[in-house]
Amino acid sequence: MERRLLLVSSSTLHGGGYLQHCQQHVARFFGRDVNRVLFVPYALHDRDAYTRTARDKFRTLGYELDSIHEAADPVDAVRKAQGIFIGGGNTFRLLKSLYDNEVVTEIRRRVLEDGVPYMGSSAGTNVATVSISTTNDMPIVCPPTFSAIGLVPFNINPHYLDPDPQSRHMGETREQRITQYHEEPDTPSVLGLREGSLLLVEGNKATLLGTTKARLFTRGKPSVEYDPGSDLSYLLTNQSDSGDEGLRL
């Protein structure tokens, strides 16, 4: 079975409701073969309220939603899941809870071996990658490792922000922080997903979707801009090649 991933930068855009900006992609992604989706609300403290928000939205799209935090056995819930959606919040809290509930290995197996569709938003997108080292979140708790589920061989920086030339803020830009990450050896590429962008992975094919460009950072190479609709499949198979498409910056 081929892996199927929908990795979203953010669940909500300014002026819109929860998942409104990507709801057509969500419905197309889960399709008609999925009736129920397993929701993972571990990234927020109030899991009940978070589940209500997600459940209400998914019902409007034609899906019932079960929350893993309501299950007697989280691992068994993953084993029975038709589809998985991990929501946003604090990435450190999310990853620690995934390890505490011993579901990291089972989620990886279901997605990579059984082809169960996986959707992530924000923190849920972070944990689908190699590690959470390029999250924007504060380490409010300490997971046992920064290593994540590893559904793709690169990292993602959701909510990627470009430097504001009018700003008087003197702290590091997002670009500078990712560059600092790449000063460390053996660090994977980082895809900066701006608000409104999402990545669809089907087997060994990856396509940038949404309404905004994404920016790819690769250690020792110039960053590259990609338009919506761009084919980023090479990221899934060859991390040593930064690709020939896109606008180098």
Known catalytic residue: 69? no
Asked if residue 243 is part of any domain, the answer here is: no
| Single pTM value for the model | 0.92
Note whether residue 41 is domain-resident: yes
Percent of the chain surpassing pLDDT 70: 92
Determine, yes or no, domain membership for 226: yes
Mean pLDDT of 145-159: 97
**11 in catalytic set:** no
- At 223-244, the pLDDT tens digits run 999 999 999 999 998 554 444 4
Q: Are strands 84-86 and 64-67 parallel, antiparallel or unpaired?
A: unpaired
3-state secondary structure (DSSP) of residue 78: helix
In the annotation, is 73 catalytic? no
Query: Is 134 within a domain?
Result: yes
Which is catalytic among the residues 10, 97, 122, 133? Answer: 122
Does residue 45 form part of some domain? yes
> Of 147, 159, 182, 233, which residue is the catalytic one?
159
Q: How far is CA 124 from CA 33, 94, 166, in A?
A: 22, 8, 32
Residue 249 has pLDDT above 50, yes or no: no
Q: Does residue 244 sit within a domain?
A: no
Query: What is the per-residue pLDDT across 97-115, written as a single tens digit (0 to 9) for each?
Result: 999 999 999 999 999 999 9
Q: Is residue 194 part of a domain?
A: yes
Q: What is the CATH number of the domain that holds 157?
A: 3.40.50.880
Instruction: Give the number of other Cβ atoms within 10 Å of residue 239's Cβ.
Output: 15
Domains of the chain: total: 1
Of 193, 205, 217, give the one whose Cα is nearest residue 22.
193
Range of the domain at 19: 4-238
Q: Of the residues 9, 11, 137, 230, which is catalytic?
A: 137
Q: How far is CA 161 from CA 20, 178, 192, in A?
A: 21, 12, 8
